[in-house]
Structure 1
Amino acid sequence: MTLCKRRTGAPLASTVAVAVAIAVACFSAPSHAAGDNDPANDVLIRDVRVFDGARVRQNQQVLVRDGRIVAIGTTVKAPADIATVDGRGKTLLPGLIDSHVHSWGEAQRDALRFGVTTELDMLGDWNRLPALKTARASLARTEDADLWSAGAAVTAPGGHGTQYGMKVPVLEPGADAGAFVAARLAEGSDYIKIIVEDFSAHSDTRRIPTISPEQVRAAIAAAHGRKALAVVHVSRLRDGRMAVDGGADGLVHMFGEPGDAAFVAAAKRRRAFVVPTLSVLATMAQAGEGGKLGADARLRPWLTTAQADALKASFGAAEPKPAVLADAMKNVRDLHAAGVDILAGTDAGNPGTAHGISMHGELDLLVRSGLTPVQALAAATSVPARRFRLDDRGRIAPGLRADLVLVDGDPTVDIVATRNIATVWKNGYTIARPQPQVAAAAVGEAMPAATLVDDFEGDVGGGANAGAGGVLPAKIGAGWMQTTDQMAGGASVVTMTRANGALAVSGEIKAGFAFPWSGAMFFPAKAAMQPADLSARTELVFRVRGDGRNYSVMLFSGAQMQSMPSMKPFVAGPEWSEVRIPLNGFNGADLARVRAFAFTAGQPQGAFRFEIDDVEVK
């Protein structure tokens, strides 16, 4: 899905913050390694139940020396002075592998805290690739999970993967896919990710460009000609069938629509694997799986504020679509029953997910889709290691890297026992797992008793027009500001004018951004994008007229300035009409910390105009 947020450091100007929150990017430097208090990467884990990646072994001794597993068995000779860990009543697992993430900022550190020792990035900054390769080849102490990455994906101009405010390579219509793939591998991509996505699975009206079936087949052949894996992003059965028939090694999403026996047979025949990413499909279905995971007392204390917010987030204000998750889970059940390899991957970085913790939810979803607990654990360890050629991990065996997770209980019988994490080892070193010092997020500033935001009568503290970055004052809050996708590299334009007792907004949605927007934004607090407490308010009310287009109100809220907005649609017809939107109808909104309301146009491209008046938050 790759609809992710860019981590930011220093405070941003309000318009930039808005752009980041809407359009976002998955590119930044990895976090730096730091030591803990362990003296060495040697340990003996005694009397422990072991899931070795394929089978369960009781009452085992596992010896680690210099960051590698050197022996496993019921009787293991070890130096008398080696550090020992009592494994009675516990299960030792290979470090978990998340086979679909989008990693930036603290993602690798967040992952490791929850026992995910390896992540496979499916779209990221190719400039990081040399440093990632060096880091994962080392057995040094680290606080980061290892990361493999596709780097830049194979996508069309204006296609999925181009919308994150950073210039990325694109495969032009009719261009040589072989040369494009060769360039990605020269940059250091560990595998090739191909994006087949026209957005038809997500919208009845919105479409974005995608590459052709001929280019898909050529890209797969080019990757295979250079001994690289080729995996494909799909959202539709038809595209999954085309990719598998074209020789794809695997699909990195499961489509949320009914599959069929022909597709299952083709996947089995061609030995393709599937990474279902049920976690993010659950978000699209509005199933609330992320929120429930974040509330689990076994996991919650190790969440950062940003992770907790991400797990509660959703994709706008779409209505619940339970069939999306149900169909995807049925497809997984059918594929697994046919013997198709299933790999656990979360698409962490998207709403409703968070690095590390979401793997524990994904394992549960896989079991609910027909895998046994042992098979689900294999899907997160030995199976991705085998399919992605990660030869030094994914199993507990002599000679392999000592990336290990010790949990209380027996997840080979009850999969949710993976959440009872006792110890994580990376390269044989014990990982310190301090609980993040998360201060309670302050409630936003109190709102005045008045409910009228603006009736646009008279000159309220300024001129009638807002120039680039300009602000029009309102009766309460920080006022109105124009906003467009130009902050994320788009080309849409807008003009905002206070005239004739209304706010007139006009402009043009232009090509240049996959998810364009343009419009006007209101900040309810005294400073732009600061939180305001609207928990005692129940309804947004305004009058509108315009050109008959569909528009959206986006509500920005939460402890983090860059949280994903929630959206509700409205129509601006030719005559004045009143729009009333219950605030609790904005899915996932934090009404104690509301940062902005944006009134925006989106697709289709072209000119737009609307006027709003008598805006109230009652």
Structure 2
Amino acid sequence: MTNRLIEFSAVAALVAVIVLAVVQGHAGGSAAPLEPGGNSFAVRDVRVFDGTRDLGVVTVVVRDGVIRQVATDAIVPDGLAEIDGGGRTLLPGLIDAHVHAWGEARRDAARYGVTTMLDMHGMADRLPGLRAQRESLGDVGQADLWAAGYAVTAPEGHGTQYGFPVPTFGPQTDAEAFVAARIAEGADYIKLIVEDLGAHGGERRLDTLAPDQVEAVIAAAHAANRKAVVHVSAQEDARRAIDAGADGLVHVFIDAVADPDFVASARARGAFVAPTLSVLASFAGEGIGAGLAADRALSLGLTAEQRASLDAGIPRASGDGARIERAMESVRRLHAAGVPILAGTDAPNPGTAHGISMHGELELLVRAGLSPRQALAAATSRPAHHFGLGDRGRIAPGMRADLVLVEGNPQAEITATRAIVEVWKNGYAIQRDPRAASAQGVAVPSASLVSDFDGGEIAAAFGGWEPTTDRIAGGASVAEHRIVAGGAGDSRGALAVTGEVRPGFAFPWAGVMFWPGGEPMQAVDLSGRSELVFRVRGDGRHYRAMLFSGPSMQGMPAMLGFRAGEEWSEVRLRLEDFAGADLSLLRGIAFTAGDPAGEFGFLLDDVELR
């Protein structure tokens, strides 16, 4: 939301690892986990917040991952595992209404009771898989994700700087066709970005969507039965978005306190606001993230990577404090007028991390005028209602058993959400100790060939390929990849990687990344492989192969060099020579150009992990 947020908002992502130091381990948590079991159980004599109200002390019966009974006189079938709820509160699984999720984000979130997340901008190729998971009642071990896919933004606008190609919306773009393309990719809703940096101070400006474009995209989204939500940071942009029919704002604006006309308009049109106070507090230097990391009640589920992200807040500068104060007052006024407030963190921006930051967001919402019970509704039933998530966000018969059991009563003291006893996803207990959950990467197919690029598509036997550049960490380099005819040894095809390394970043790079897991930065076990083999042809430039690995993504990747000459050659790199790489937790392999700056191009073929 601030200028520095826009420049550094991927600090917890892929190559922010290059500039962050390795962090220390964590202390143990305070609540002992319950014994693991199946997805059928009962919680006896527990206080229940059902998503909207306090049901008092009741018994909740779960069978096959679905809530069956919620009553004081509930009948517990013989043989069903029973959990003592005395002195505890059962909550619906929390819903984070604004995230950007990759790598281990969904597992990180689930450990802290966030069982559903709403992603507001990211690659679209994962969308079908996300839908399949959230329709399942299986033991998935992670939060479900709804997603916008690619956000709607202007050419070179905010959202295009994160190292992956983004379709953009220009002056001549047809709104109906553009929205239809996003829906065909699997977008669950449409997110628009209206951001020129004017609200953040400074002289830099970005191109952004014009008011008529915003109106056209919102109308197209509604015609296609999709909600339209809007990123704004200025009140006038927010006013125009609401007047154009936006269903909600996914940030609260920072340049002014919400005036009576805006409040009245938002209420009259039924729009919601997800203010993402966690990010504003981080950039105001309030130390919210560091405070969460230091809370012993939260330490059990914290990874080194999450700790680094929480500690990554940027020192407070002039004006930041006023921005968070204006934002808090806007939330107070909107809430008092009856405008729905949704809890969203914008994790993993600096000073935030997936899952754990929801507990800080709840506290901030209470500081901004919501009661603890209203804040809990903002993280459960309200996002479920406004985004049409019909089977979650409440504790009632027929709902899926996404549940959080905590000590004490967060309806009286909101920080009680931090004393987590157990989290269930689809009725299955979540492993809350990340040391056990990520002790080893997932297995991959035994075949050595990753990609031969002969099928006419960019495909892999496991994992996938994406461009990668330093733009994800604030640089300006660019890269693209595509299939071309004619590969090594007269094969049918090869992967062409082209781009430009541009100066201005401490560790410039551009190229292509292979993700061996099911999604970016998911760890896989390749400890049985000994060699990276590929064929390459290019411009005579020297390049780097970079291995990202280990239990966290902090620290420098392991690197070895290679040259792309004018004729095809085979490159064989022993994996043991990548100093410090943990092959049991391999997260990514990048083929990149670095210094010196300038244009580059190479062809890649027959990539193997032998």
Cα offset, 1:562, TM superposition? 7.3
Match of 2:131 in 1: 133
Distance 1:562 1:284, change over 3 A: farther
Q: Normalising by the residue count of structure 1, what TM-score does the alignment of the two structures yield? A: 0.68
Please, which of 467, 475, 490 is the counterpart of residue 485 of structure 1? 475
Match of 1:364 in 2: 363
Match of 2:200 in 1: 202
Cα offset, 1:290, TM superposition? 1.1
1:387, 1:188 → 2: CA distance?
19
2:327, 2:478 → 1: CA distance?
32
Aligned 1:452-467 pairs, distance under 5 A: none
Cα offset, 1:235, TM superposition? 0.5
- In 1, are the aligned partners of 2:39 and 2:426 still within 8 Å (CA)? yes
2:287, 2:476 → 1: CA distance?
32
2:234, 2:340 → 1: CA distance?
19
Cα offset, 1:172, TM superposition? 1.1
* Identical columns (%): 55
**1:442-496: CA deviation from partner (whole Å, max 9, x where unpaired):** xxxxxxxxxxxxxxxxxxxxxxxxxxxxxxxxxxxxxxxxx99354559xxxxxx
Residue 561 (str. 1) matches residue 547 (str. 2): no
Q: Is the radius of gyration larger for structure 1 or structure 2? A: 1
Amino acid at match of 1:561: G
Match of 2:351 in 1: 352
Cα offset, 1:401, TM superposition? 0.3
Report the 3-state secondary structure (helix = DSSP H, G, I; strand = E; otherwise coil) of the residue aligned with 1:81: coil
1:40, 1:519 → 2: CA distance?
50
Match of 1:239 in 2: 237
Distance 1:236 1:517, change over 3 A: farther
Report the 3-state secondary structure (helix = DSSP H, G, I; strand = E; otherwise coil) of the residue aligned with 1:72: strand
1:291, 1:354 → 2: CA distance?
11
Distance 1:123 1:562, change over 3 A: farther
1:517, 1:337 → 2: CA distance?
49
1:170, 1:373 → 2: CA distance?
40
1:295, 1:271 → 2: CA distance?
39
Cα offset, 1:292, TM superposition? 1.1
Distance 1:77 1:252, change over 3 A: same
- In 1, are the aligned partners of 2:279 and 2:346 still within 8 Å (CA)? yes
1:520, 1:72 → 2: CA distance?
57
Distance 1:334 1:517, change over 3 A: farther
Match of 2:504 in 1: 518
Residue 156 (str. 1) matches residue 154 (str. 2): yes
Match of 2:252 in 1: 254
Cα offset, 1:173, TM superposition? 1.9
Cα offset, 1:560, TM superposition? 2.4
Aligned 1:263-278 pairs, distance under 5 A: 263-278=262-277
Match of 1:321 in 2: 320
**1:556-576: CA deviation from partner (whole Å, max 9, x where unpaired):** xx992379xxxxxxxxxxxxx
Cα offset, 1:19, TM superposition? 9.8
Residue 44 (str. 1) matches residue 42 (str. 2): yes
Cα offset, 1:174, TM superposition? 3.2
Please, which of 97, 108, 111 is the counterpart of residue 109 of structure 2? 111
Residue 298 (str. 1) matches residue 297 (str. 2): yes
- In 2, are the aligned partners of 1:373 and 1:415 still within 8 Å (CA)? yes
Residue 64 (str. 1) matches residue 50 (str. 2): no
Residue 392 (str. 1) matches residue 391 (str. 2): yes
Q: Number of aligned pairs?
A: 443
Match of 1:554 in 2: none
Cα offset, 1:217, TM superposition? 0.5
- In 2, are the aligned partners of 1:95 and 1:116 still within 8 Å (CA)? yes
Please, which of 4, 18, 22 is the counterpart of residue 10 of structure 2? 4
Cα offset, 1:50, TM superposition? 0.2
- In 1, are the aligned partners of 2:95 and 2:116 still within 8 Å (CA)? yes
Amino acid at match of 2:335: H
Report the 3-state secondary structure (helix = DSSP H, G, I; strand = E; otherwise coil) of the residue aligned with 2:253: coil
Amino acid at match of 2:205: R
1:486, 1:336 → 2: CA distance?
40
Distance 1:379 1:317, change over 3 A: closer
- In 2, are the aligned partners of 1:124 and 1:150 still within 8 Å (CA)? yes
Distance 1:286 1:6, change over 3 A: closer
- In 2, are the aligned partners of 1:111 and 1:356 still within 8 Å (CA)? yes
**1:574-609: CA deviation from partner (whole Å, max 9, x where unpaired):** xxxxxxxxxxxxxxxxxxxxxxxxxxxxxxxxxxxx
2:474, 2:258 → 1: CA distance?
39
1:147, 1:559 → 2: CA distance?
22
1:18, 1:69 → 2: CA distance?
41
- In 2, are the aligned partners of 1:19 and 1:485 still within 8 Å (CA)? no
- In 1, are the aligned partners of 2:147 and 2:187 still within 8 Å (CA)? yes
Cα offset, 1:284, TM superposition? 2.0
1:61, 1:19 → 2: CA distance?
46
Cα offset, 1:436, TM superposition? 3.4
**1:70-118: CA deviation from partner (whole Å, max 9, x where unpaired):** 0110001121200000000000000000000000000000000000000
- In 2, are the aligned partners of 1:408 and 1:417 still within 8 Å (CA)? yes
- In 2, are the aligned partners of 1:67 and 1:402 still within 8 Å (CA)? yes
Report the 3-state secondary structure (helix = DSSP H, G, I; strand = E; otherwise coil) of the residue aligned with 1:50: strand
- In 1, are the aligned partners of 2:106 and 2:142 still within 8 Å (CA)? yes
**1:283-317: CA deviation from partner (whole Å, max 9, x where unpaired):** 22222111111111111232111111111112477
2:143, 2:474 → 1: CA distance?
36
1:236, 1:180 → 2: CA distance?
25
Match of 2:310 in 1: 311
Residue 218 (str. 1) matches residue 204 (str. 2): no
- In 2, are the aligned partners of 1:96 and 1:394 still within 8 Å (CA)? yes
**1:339-360: CA deviation from partner (whole Å, max 9, x where unpaired):** 0000000000100100000000
- In 2, are the aligned partners of 1:286 and 1:320 still within 8 Å (CA)? no
- In 1, are the aligned partners of 2:66 and 2:426 still within 8 Å (CA)? yes
Please, which of 227, 230, 251 is the counterpart of residue 228 of structure 2? 230
- In 1, are the aligned partners of 2:312 and 2:350 still within 8 Å (CA)? yes
Cα offset, 1:323, TM superposition? 0.9
- In 2, are the aligned partners of 1:281 and 1:324 still within 8 Å (CA)? yes
Residue 88 (str. 1) matches residue 86 (str. 2): yes
Report the 3-state secondary structure (helix = DSSP H, G, I; strand = E; otherwise coil) of the residue aligned with 1:518: coil
Match of 1:598 in 2: none
Cα offset, 1:431, TM superposition? 1.4
Report the 3-state secondary structure (helix = DSSP H, G, I; strand = E; otherwise coil) of the residue aligned with 1:299: helix
Amino acid at match of 1:307: Q
2:162, 2:186 → 1: CA distance?
21
Amino acid at match of 2:70: I
Distance 1:283 1:18, change over 3 A: closer
Mean Cα deviation higher: 317-326 or 111-120: 317-326
2:223, 2:243 → 1: CA distance?
17
Q: Normalising by the residue count of structure 2, what TM-score does the alignment of the two structures yield? A: 0.69
Cα offset, 1:318, TM superposition? 3.8
Distance 1:520 1:20, change over 3 A: closer
Cα offset, 1:202, TM superposition? 2.0
- In 1, are the aligned partners of 2:123 and 2:164 still within 8 Å (CA)? no
Cα offset, 1:209, TM superposition? 0.7
